[in-house]
Amino acid sequence: MAKILAIYGSKYGSTKEIVETLAKELENLKLITPAEFVREDKDYECVLIASGIYAEEIHPEIVNFVDKNERWLKQKKIILLGVCLAGQRGISYLDKLKKKLGSCIIWVGMAKGRLILNRLGEEDFTMMKIFANKVKMPFIDRDFIDPEELLDISSQINTIMKV
Ligand SMILES: Cc1cc2nc3c(=O)[nH]c(=O)nc-3n(C[C@H](O)[C@H](O)[C@H](O)COP(=O)(O)O)c2cc1C
């Protein structure tokens, strides 16, 4: 039986790509979206929950999944990973999830993601434009995915899994 169940919410693919990259370094990991979850997945000893961040919020599918599965999730070792442009500076975007899951969380962190404007839906394009204006960030394509950062994250997770 694999050791880590990784559940991700990714609107535009960078969170998926990031978790796939981590999966290459982490032993025994099964990667799914909330829609692919089956009852047997509750047998994993550790659950990595990864989400892209949109207007400072977690992906709605992840919020729903955690709401519905809070009880058994709280009996597992939980790893929380957020993906956003702000990277580690956006750690507070995970506060609601952290509060909800509490002491079962063994690791929390952020990875820097990617934004390609012409891939965004109309609503997200407008939302992102407002956000960029609010934080005085240039409204341009960004690819901050950093392989070294991902190696560091996977090594931290491997270490914590050995404890
Ligand atoms: C509508 C929208 C809102 C966003 N809001 C934020 C934000 O509040 N803070 C931030 O750092 N990045 C923000 N981003 C950037 C995303 O977090 C980043 O592009 C991430 O890599 C997206 O993950 P995905 O490709 O898996 O969907 C936003 C992106 C979109 C499309």
Could you tell me if the CB of 86 is within 6 A of ligand 1? yes
Instruction: Give the whole-number percent of the chain exceeding pLDDT 90.
Output: 91
C-alpha–C-alpha distance, residues 25 and 155, integer Å:
8
Could you tell me if the CB of 52 is within 6 A of ligand 1? yes
Counting from 1 in the atom list of ligand 1, the atom nearest the Cα of 17 is 26
Let me know: does 85 contact 144? Beta carbons within 8 Å: yes
Tell me the DSSP string of 99-122.
HHHGGGEEEEEEEE-EE-GGGS-H
C-alpha–C-alpha distance, residues 48 and 73, integer Å:
10
Counting from 1 in the atom list of ligand 1, the atom nearest the Cα of 87 is 11
* Position 78 pLDDT exceeds 70: yes
pTM across the whole model: 0.96
Measured in Å, residue 78 CA sits from the centre of ligand 1 at 23
Strands (E), the chain: 4-9, 29-32, 46-54, 57-58, 77-84, 105-112, 114-115, 142-143
Could you tell me if the CB of 37 is within 6 A of ligand 1? no
Lowest model confidence (mean pLDDT) among 50-54, 61-65, 92-96, 132-136: 132-136
Domains of the chain (ranges; CATH) run 4-155 (3.40.50.360)
* Position 1 pLDDT exceeds 70: no
Measured in Å, residue 90 CA sits from the centre of ligand 1 at 11
* Position 163 pLDDT exceeds 80: no
Q: Hey, what amino acid is at 53? A: I
Q: Whose CA is nearest to atom 17 of ligand 1?
A: 84
Q: How many CB atoms lie within 10 A of CB 143?
A: 11
Measured in Å, residue 5 CA sits from the centre of ligand 1 at 23
Which DSSP state fits 16? H
The per-residue b/e assignment along 28-60, b for 16 or more CB within 10 angstroms, e otherwise, is ebbbeebeeeeeebeebebbbbbbbbbeeebbe
Could you tell me if the CB of 139 is within 6 A of ligand 1? no
Measured in Å, residue 1 CA sits from the centre of ligand 1 at 33
C-alpha–C-alpha distance, residues 2 and 34, integer Å:
18
Q: Whose CA is nearest to atom 22 of ligand 1?
A: 52
